[in-house]
Amino acid sequence: MLSLRLYMLQRITALLMAPLVVGHLAVMIYAIQGGLSAAEILGRTQGSVAWFLFYGLFVVAVSIHGAIGLRTVMHEWGGLKGAALEAAMWIIGFGLFALGARAVWAVTFA
């Protein structure tokens, strides 16, 4: 049950993430050559402001986008509505953000 505001947030975060996804796919395809290792990943991301901003923005956007997307599914397929639906959406949003922010921090400036 999307109103205009949620719809716009959904679409805008989608547009925001398009270049981020392309970048992420490119990095992944590059990184898996020769096998993955923590050292290789951290060697690239540790101390990097650029990667912090890149993945930081990604986490913010995906938390909003995912929470709104799942909200629709929870309503249409799960029958959730009213306050329960709102609460579930916010919990998912904050949950994704918390986990994501921690991951970004872990690989950049921790």
Partner 1 sequence: MSMTRGITSRAHPLWLAYILHRLSGVGLALFLPFHFWILSLALTSPARLDGFLAFTEIGIVKLAEFGLVFLLAVHMFGGLRLMAMEWLPWTPPQKTLAAGATALSFLIAALFLMQAV
Partner 2 sequence: MTDRTLKVTIDRGGDAPGVQTEFDVPAYENQTVLDVVSWVQQNADPTLSYRFACRVGMCGSCAMMVNGVPRWTCRTHMSKVLVGDTVTIGPLRNLPVIKDLAVDMDPFFDKWVAAEGVHHGALTRDDPIAPIDAETPARVEANAGIECINCSVCYAACDTVTANDDYLGPAALQRAWTLLNDAKDEGRQAILDAVSGNGGCHNCHSMGSCTAYCPNDLDPMSAIAGLKRETAKSFFKWGR
Contact criterion met (CB below 8 Å) for 101 and 59 = yes
DSSP 8-state code for residue 100: H
Amino acid in the structure at residue 24: H
Q: Return d(Cα 98, Cα 18) in angstroms, integer.
A: 22
Closest CA to 57 of 110, 9, 19, 7: 19
Considering the rule CB under 8 A, would residue 8 count as an interface residue with partner 1? no
Output the smallest distance, CB 83 to partner 1, in A.
21
Binding characters for partner 1, 27-66, by CB under 8 A (x = yes): -xx--xx-xxxxx-xx-------------------x---x
Kindly list the residues in this chain that would bind partner 1 in the complex (CB under 8 A). 11, 14-15, 17-18, 21, 25, 28-29, 32-33, 35-39, 41-42, 62, 66, 69-70, 73, 77, 79, 92, 95-96, 99-100, 102-103, 105-107, 110
